[in-house]
Amino acid sequence: MADCLFCSIIAGSTPAHLVYESPEVLGFLDIRPVFKGHTLLVPREHIATMVELPDELTVPLFGAARAVAAAVRTAYGAQGSFVAVNNVVSQSVPHLHVHVVPRTKGDGLRGFFWPRTKYADDDEAASYAEKLRTTLAG
């Protein structure tokens, strides 16, 4: 879809810090992370919401979410993760995306209030992406 930010990232016309790639799914760092390492996983096919996700993409997308949720523990020393999907409401980009947010007890995240942070610079974001890619590659 021409005006979709995530489709533009998938096409390679908008830069992103990629952390996961498969034929069906792409994963990249959120530019406004809740915590550093916050990853978005998207189907390569433009699908607006989870309700529209075809059965054949459910396992690739949520399998990627499971892999990234495990990897953030090793890559960032997180104790766990928060995995979420917004469906229309609070969905800032109308392309289905799964959030995987590294978590540590006492990190300050409460309920559904998602405070956002920033990477110091592009090099710091690239470093977080590299740590996760390396962990996922095993």
Q: Which are the catalytic amino acids?
A: 97
Question: Of 13, 34, 19, which Cα lies nearest the Cα of 102?
Answer: 34
Q: What is the dihedral of CA 63, 73, 125, 46, to 10 degrees?
A: 10
Residues 85, 99 contacting (CB under 8 angstroms)? yes
- Type and span of the H or E element at 135: helix 122-137
